[in-house]
Amino acid sequence: MQERSQGDGGEQRTDASGDQAEPEGDDAAVNPLIEELLGGKHRALARVITKIENRQPGYRDLVSQLHQHTGNATVIGVTGSPGSGKSTLVDKMAATYRDRGETVGVIAIDPSSPFTGGAVLGDRIRMGSNVGDMDVFFRSMSARGSLGGLSTATTDAVKALDAFGKDRIIIETVGAGQNEIDIVKTADTVMVLVPPGSGDDVQMLKAGILEIADVFVVNKADLEGANRTVQELREMLDYSDGGVPRTVGHHGPDAGFDGSGGEDHDDEEGWDPTIVETVADRGEGVEELLDVLEQHQAYLDNSGQRDAQRRARYAEEIRTLVREDVNELLVAEIDHQGGIDAFVQRVLDRETDPYAIADDVVGPIEDCVSERRE
C-alpha cells in the first residue's frame, strides 16, 4: 500500500499513454488500475469510476477488462419523487445488508444545472448508518447534462462495483424524466417510492412508472394518508392485471416468508408488484422490504426472467454503444467535409436538401460496409 502511493501517479501516467497505443500490447495486458481494483483497493475503484464519468482516454479498455469479472452482484434500482425518502431508505437498506454480512455499492444520481453544469450532490448526507464502513461504497454522480451518456456511465460504474466484489448494488435516482427511468430500468429489481398523501403520485404513476416497478414502497408509512396511498396503489394495480397485489405492512409480513419465493402463484403468472410500507428514518419495514426484494430475485431465477433480462440489457448496451460510435464517426465526417454550417448554408440557399446531404454523408460509409461484407 505504501509503496503504491509513490508509484501510483507515475505508473498511471505511463499506463494511460500506453492505453491509447494499446493494439500492440495485446489483450492479455491487464491494466494496473484494474489489477488494484480487483485486489480490493478502494482508491482504484473510485478512480475507475471517475475515469468512466469523465470518459477519459482509455476508459473503454478499462470497462472491457472489467466485464469478465462481472455478473455476480444483484442490482436494485430505487426511484421516487424528491423528498420521498430514497436516500434515507437506501442508507437503512445498506446497513441491513451489512448486518446480513453482504457488501454494498451505492450509486446516487442527482441532477446537474443545465446552465453551468455544476451540481450539489446531497444524497451522502443521509448515509448516517454506515459511517466509516468502507464495505459500503457510496458514490454520487451528477447527470452532467449528457443525453444517453448517463445511462452508459451508470452501467459502467455498476460494472466496476460488481467486479470489485460488491454483493448488492443500489442505484438511486430522482424519478423525473425518461433519462432516470432508463437508468433504473437497467436494474434487476426496480423499487418505486411513493410518499403518502399527495395526488401527485397518481400523476407519477400515469407517467409510466407503474410499469417499471417490481416493488412499490410507501415510505413514511407513519404519516397520515399512508393507508389511502396503499389503497390507491392497490386499486391501480388491480386494474392493470386483475390480480390482488400482496401488501407487506411494516409491522410484519402478512404471510410467513421463507425465501422460497412464494411459488404459490409467482412462477406461473409472472411477478405481481408488491406494496411494502416502510418508515425509513426509524428503519421500520426495511427487513420486510429486503425479503420482498429477495423474493423478486428468486422469481427472476426460477422463471428464467433473469436470463431474458440480461440478454435484453446487453442487447441495449451494444445498440447504444454502436449508435454512439457511429454518431461520432459521422460527426467527424461532417467536420471533414466542411462542417455542419456549410451544409446548412447550402440547404438555406435551396441548393440541396437535408435528405440529400444525409445520403451524401452516409453513402460512402454504407458502400464501405457492404464492400467488406462481400
Partner 1 sequence: MSINQEQRTIRCLVAKVGLDGHDRGAHVISRAFRDAGFEVIYSGLHRAPEEIVQAAVQEDVDILGISILSGAHDTLVPEILDGLKEYDAFDDTLVLVGGIIPDDDEEKLKELGVAEVFGPGASMESMIEFVRENAPERD
Provide the binding-site residues for partner 1, judged by CB under 8 A: 1, 4-5, 8-9, 12-13, 15-16, 41-43, 46-47, 49-50, 53-57, 60, 112-113, 116-122, 124-125, 131-134, 137-140, 142, 144-149, 152, 320-321, 324-325, 327-328, 331
Q: Which is nearer to partner 1, 121 or 176 (CB)?
A: 121
Give the nearest distance from C-beta 1 to partner 1 in angstroms.
7
Query: What's the CA gap between 79 and 212, in Å, rounded?
Result: 10
How much is the CA Rg of the chain, to the nearest whole Å? 24
Q: Which is nearer to partner 1, 135 or 167 (CB)?
A: 135
Give the nearest distance from C-beta 88 to partner 1 in angstroms.
12
Q: Which is nearer to partner 1, 12 or 103 (CB)?
A: 12
Give the nearest distance from C-beta 163 to partner 1 in angstroms.
16
CA max distance for the chain: 74
Q: Which is nearer to partner 1, 303 or 320 (CB)?
A: 320
Give the nearest distance from C-beta 182 to partner 1 in angstroms.
14
Give the nearest distance from C-beta 43 to partner 1 in angstroms.
5
Residue type for 171, please? I
Closest CA to 271 of 304, 248, 249: 304
Query: What's the CA gap between 277 and 293, in Å, rounded?
Result: 13
Query: What's the CA gap between 112 and 289, in Å, rounded?
Result: 30
Query: What's the CA gap between 138 and 46, in Å, rounded?
Result: 10
Residue type for 212, please? I
Q: Which is nearer to partner 1, 125 or 207 (CB)?
A: 125
Give the nearest distance from C-beta 327 to partner 1 in angstroms.
6
Cell numbers representing residue 47 in the block: 478512480
User: Sheet containing 247-248: which strands, arranged edge to edge?
Assistant: 136-142, 104-110, 168-174, 74-80, 189-193, 215-218, 274-277, 247-248
Q: Which is nearer to partner 1, 17 or 352 (CB)?
A: 17
